[in-house]
Chain A
Amino acid sequence: MEEPELTVTDLPRPASPVQPPTRHLDGPLGETIFDVRNVSIWYGAFKAVTDVSMAIHENEITAFIGSSGSGKTTVLRSFNRMNDLIAGARVEGEMDYRGQPLYASDVSPAAVRRRIGMVFQKPNPFPKSIYDNVAYGPRINGERNKGKLDEIVERSLRRAALWDEVKNRLKTSGLSLSGGQAQRLCIARTIAVEPDVVLMDEPASALDPIATGAIEELMRELKSRYTIVIVTHNMQQATRVSDRTAFFSVLTGGDNDTRTGLLVEYGSTEQIFQDPTDPRTQAYVTGRMG
């Protein structure tokens, strides 16, 4: 039997051994938010991800880790149907959101995205005022009442830990914020529509360490209210914030020298980092070059 190669393109080499996570998953399992069964994702003829099966649970932070090209972002974006925007993207297998198939033919992607929000790697505030950025989502959902909008904007900015810094300049452009502030603005914008789930694609990778710390703190606070799935290159970040971790890897080979992502192991963060079952996971989390 062929062992799929572990291609280690850019494994982060931690300076010190990875800190063991200190949270334990006690208590009953929350409701299953995403039920993924044998999902493969294609871009045209290129198979980006193969045979992923996992379940994401309510009010937990789940981290996707793994090397570049292992399909973490592809799977994340399939949760809110953002891959639809790419021509030729196709999902095989079953993916349910709260028991409802996400890719049924009568499902509207816009409706999906109102419940499953996303924060991107590089902050992308609209060239509008801070207020209008946060109010954008509620407005397109039909909220017109100025009083309600004011309330939503303040509440979202507070939850994103940005209110105190911007409350006196809500009318200034969103583009005038620093990187960390802009990302918190994007988070505020995302939670303004009261989503169920917040997906985050390497939300702190473009930020400095202090801003990163603020974002991570924010994630822990948001967990009680939302379900969070984050893709991260930073293993320490995964250990710091996540309850569960999924390790993805790249499957090379085939006749075209293609690289397809696959889910290697998924479990509680404690277990993944302290006692991984799969040798590939072991190699990755301990930073050993394969």
Chain B
Amino acid sequence: MAADTTQQAKADLREPAGWRRTKNRIATALMVLSLVVVIIPLGFVLFTVIAKGASIISWHFLTSDIPPFVLPASYGGIGPAVLGTLLITALATVIAVPLGILGAIYLNEYGGKGLLGRFIGFMSDVMTGVPSIIMGLFIFSIWVLHFGYSGLAGAFALGCLMLPVVIRSTYEMLRLVPNALREGAYALGASKARVTMTVVLPAALGGIVSGALLAVARAAGETAPLLFTILGGLSAANLNMFSGANIALPLEIFSNASQPYPGAQDRGWGAALTLITIAFILMIAARIVTARFSRYSR
């Protein structure tokens, strides 16, 4: 009898038999496969961009004017586009980030729970899903038709894109600040504005900056909003943000991508590598800020 029960006990401890176990294994394999299926093209893209772009990138390339498409890669560079991206994105940041922070302050500190507050929060999230090309068409209709193409118009379009993203990420950071801090400040006789600006914002600053950096990274890579606002097609840099067409890296890549000339395509790869590098730097900066300065995280 004893031998039988040990035999039985051993049998019970084995994994579920046959088909069930196989199904489980297949499922696990499929899950791993999905990860692989996604990593491979990502790897390919990055590899191609780095391989094709690295050979063309140089200080000369990053600072020279844009030559006609026909010319081979050794001529000229993408200087104006780099400058354009830096200036236009910076302008968009200056416009959108303060407004986004203020909007999030309204949602979290003032109006959040009421009907209007919840509606604004909801529509802000919906707005993050509006295609970026629509922002371009919008600014085209309301600004470019009256004032012409300019870096400023591009900044407006990018700003519209960044605004709801900054609102959402800032709102999440403000929410994490413990209420006890606010109460302590109120108890000392501070007004709501003061409590918000001198206690809540500083406490949430790390997370807010990090979220803003990610929004900037996204905006820097956007092409569609720039298509009808800065126009492109320049060969030399236009430092005047307020008048005249301009050029930026994404737009430059876009025009080069559809060219048959190898020179133009090479410049496209170089510009792509530059753009990805900028986006990566911003992303890493965001992670560093989160790690070192974010006091309250989920």
Contact = CB atoms under 8 A, between A and B. Distances in A.
Contact of B181 (A110, A112, A126): A126
Interface string A20-51: 00000000000000000000000000000000
B203 interface: yes
A247 interface: no
A193 B184 CA distance: 13
Interface residues of B, number: 19
B112 to A, nearest CB: 11
Contacts of A97: none
Contacts of B180: 120, 122, 124
A169 B113 CA distance: 41
Nearest to A81: B186
B191 A110 contact: yes
Given A127-B295, A128-B202, A140-B194, A120 B184 contact: yes
A189 B185 CA distance: 10
Nearest to B114: A87
A85 interface: yes
A114 B295 contact: no
Interface string A93-128: 000000000000000001111100110101011111
Contacts of B184: 120, 124-126, 186, 189
Contacts of B203: 126-127
A256 interface: no
A140 B184 CA distance: 13
Contacts of B185: 126, 136
A40 B186 CA distance: 23
A112 B188 CA distance: 9
B90 interface: no
A116 to B, nearest CB: 9
A193 B188 contact: yes
B36 to A, nearest CB: 44
Nearest to A139: B198
A117 B295 CA distance: 27
A87 to B, nearest CB: 7
A137 interface: yes
A124 B202 contact: no
- Tell me which of B186, B189, B202 has the highest count of chain A C-beta atoms within 10 A of its own C-beta: B189
A211 interface: no
A30 to B, nearest CB: 24
A82 B188 contact: no
A interface residue count range (under 10 / 10 to 19 / 20 to 34 / 35 or more): 20 to 34
A117 B187 contact: yes
Contact of A126 (B186, B189, B194, B199): B199
A249 interface: no
Contacts of A140: 188-190, 194, 198
Contacts of B189: 110-114, 137, 140-141, 193
6 contacts: A110-B190, A124-B183, A126-B203, A136-B185, A136-B199, A186-B184
A58 B188 CA distance: 20
A284 to B, nearest CB: 29
B204 to A, nearest CB: 10
Interface string B165-191: 000000000000010110111111111
B187 A113 contact: yes
A108 to B, nearest CB: 9
A12 B191 CA distance: 38
Contacts of A125: 184
A220 B185 CA distance: 25
Given A114-B189, A117-B188, A85 B183 contact: yes
A127 B202 contact: yes
A127 B295 CA distance: 9
A128 B198 CA distance: 10
Contacts of B194: 140
Contacts of A127: 181, 202-203, 295
A124 B178 CA distance: 9
B115 to A, nearest CB: 14
B186 A82 contact: yes
A193 B188 CA distance: 8
Given A112-B189, A127-B202, 8 more contacts: A85-B183, A111-B189, A122-B180, A124-B178, A124-B184, A127-B181, A136-B185, A137-B189
Interface string B245-288: 00000000000000000000000000000000000000000000
B183 A82 contact: yes
Contacts of A137: 188-189
B253 to A, nearest CB: 43
B90 to A, nearest CB: 29
B187 A190 contact: yes
A14 B172 CA distance: 45
Contacts of B295: 127
A114 B183 contact: no
Contacts of B187: 80, 82, 113, 117-118, 120, 190
